[in-house]
Structure 1
Amino acid sequence: MGVQQLRDETSPAHWKHVGTENNPADCASRGMLVQAMIHSSKWWNGPDFLWQSLHTTQASVEDFVVAEDDPKVKKVVSCLTEAQEASSFLDRLKYFSDWHRATRATAVCLRLQKKFKGKEQSMQKVNTAKQNIVKSEYVPVTAAELKEAENEILKQPQAQAFPEEKRALMNKVNKEEFIYGVGRNKKNVLMKSS
């Protein structure tokens, strides 16, 4: 019978501790001569209390306390993870001490966002004797990027304070783009008729 089967088919409340003096497994694990093992009643028949009635053995069995430093006791480690709600853009701006630092950091983030979306290529390949190394050099943000960052920062509290209005405006802009071909940075493709 395997350990898992014992756990599935029995309850630990029914288990009793068998001391080393009555444990037949200790005959083999602690070293016993073959000649002594052949004549050992404990090895062949198990401990004597297994052959007695249940009522007489219950009185002699004492509660067993496992020592903390017992090497046979397995230690259980459990981990708890907790999901945190992502902080908003505005919460992250609180870390900056002034407006210029906040806009500069936002501009760099917007540049990286464009780069990761494939809209900007500022990577240079440098050949060395061993391998190709991709080198990226920091380029200071431009005035146009700072202006775009300021606009993005100003859009965030507006979007948070007026979500329904923003949604309505976005739907109107999308509808106009579909009907008239109007885009944010595009000129009218079809002129509106009055």
Structure 2
Amino acid sequence: MEIQGKRFPGVISEAFALARDGERVVLFFDELFRFNVRALDVLIGPMLPVPVPVARSMGIDTDVPVRVVRSPMWGVDYAPADNITIIAAGNPWGTQLDPALRRRFTDALKVKFDRNVLIPLTPAFRAVIDMMWTDVEVRNTASLVIEYQALTAMTRPDDPELFKRFYRRLQASDEAEAEAFKLNVSSQPALADFWDEKP
């Protein structure tokens, strides 16, 4: 951005400036699937290294492949491709990625939920949480799951607050999914009367 003739770079332009000066930088985009579709368009260019002849035809004086980023408020910026690593993370739901952007990712690392953290819980609690994560890992159907942080708040292996808190969170975002979760919990024989008390 330029204000009264003075340029103020955003994080991407700042990273490109550092990379152009010889530093190795990592552009890390967390929660990529939550980005606005138009914002994601900015990433399509820099994800694909531009060969030297093409870069030179664009007016870029370089002897190495470069990454090029175009922004309406900043203009065109570039840096040596080898000096910039682009990493993105996110849950596989939310904004649908443009196929052109998806193809530019060279590696994908699928992180799974470590079931070993469930060992201290009762079998019924383990079964409910395992079922949720299977929905995510195999079927990509759950939009919200009980995550590690929620487990750390448990006070005992069958702490009812774990499921009650999660149910309230679901109610705020998806009433149908909240009711499906309630049924999943009740389907465990040891938890058949779990919801007799209002969560």
Q: TM-score of the superposition, structure 2-length normalised?
A: 0.18
Q: Which has the larger radius of gyration?
A: 1
Higher relative contact order (CA 8 A, sep 6+): 2
Q: Where is the strand percentage greater, Structure 1 or Structure 2?
A: 2
